[in-house]
Amino acid sequence: MNKAAIIIVGIATIVFKYTKNSMKRFLFISFAIFSLAVYGNDWVQELAIKNPLQNDTRFISVYFRFDTIINDFEVSGILYPYHSQKNGWSEYENGARIFFRSQKSGKEYVWTDWNEKCHCFKNLFMSKNVYEIVRARDFSGFKNGDSYVFHYNAQPYAYAVNPLLPYAEYQFYDADFDGELELLLGFFMGGSKSGPSYEIYDITDSELSIKIPVNDPTYFSVDANTQFDSSHKTITNFLYEGSYAWGTYGYHVDENGDLYLLYQASSEYDDQLNTISSDTTFFSL
């Protein structure tokens, strides 16, 4: 509950306790209910003030915040369901602007994939929370100004190979083995076989800076099949390269946090999963 709401509830409680006149009680309680309706969603008003696309008719603005503070960060944001003349509003494909505010320092970091050159979003943000909202039987479409409180889903993978959270829109993990936590932004169903994918960011004093991008030129990606080995400072990716083909890419992270390809392996199988071919290439650092 925000400060304004706490003050309103406090005043109403005192008035109700010490006022015997039933009419005065009724009036004060009515005032409290009305005030809570106005001030209870001041986080939405705050986001609206920071919304640069309020007047862009290609988008509607849907506001959200998370119900949990993780690693000192309060997280809220704006979804922009994209409108096209052909398909109307797309409920799944959303541009986004996400705010990460430190509770201790008050510093706020902003993530968005908005591209000023094309005045569009480069990547469309997909969220487990959004997926569940859209799939609900009573969902009738997003409306401009809608607001939601998202549940932070900390459910881990069913297997222990991947230490990341499959359904969380964001999480913190030492992905480059430097002893500091990085911010991992999760894209629901953005990886192979409809699993999640992740973007990794350093949290600096001034901004979020991309650390390890999704699908860089060396085919590096972070998804459900990624393995992190902190003892050897290696990251291994397993990528589907066809119905019966599998690629393995091993990377080393040096003391500067730079990523180097160690080896690349590929295997091809028949429909009985017998190995047809296998090849491995090693690279020097």
pLDDT of residue 129: 92
224-265 pLDDT, tens digit each = 888 888 888 888 887 766 665 667 777 788 777 777 777 777
| pLDDT range class, residue 217, cuts 50, 70, 90 | very low
Distance from first CA to last CA of the chain, Å, rounded? 53
Q: What is the pLDDT of residues 156-188, one digit of tens each?
A: 887 767 788 989 999 999 988 888 899 999 888
Q: What is the DSSP letter of 131?
A: H
- The pLDDT assigned to 76 comes to 97
Which of 7-11, 62-66, 233-237, 275-279 has maximum average pLDDT?
A: 62-66
CB count, 10 Å around CB of 42?
13
The b/e string for 128-161 (b: 16+ C-beta within 10 A; e otherwise) is bbbeebbeeeeeeebeeebebebebbeeeeeeee
**Predicted confidence (pLDDT) per residue in 54-74, tens digit:** 888 888 899 999 999 999 999
Contacts (Cβ under 8 Å, ≥6 apart) of 101: 73, 74, 75, 76, 107, 108, 109
Q: State yes or no: pLDDT of 86 exceeds 80.
A: no
Indicate the average pLDDT of the chain: 77
Strands 222-223 and 170-173: unpaired
Are 78 and 61 in contact by the 8 Å Cβ rule? The answer is: yes
Q: What is the reported pLDDT for 24?
A: 54
In the chain, the percentage of residues whose pLDDT exceeds 70 is 69
Structure confidence at residue 113 as a pLDDT band (50, 70, 90): confident
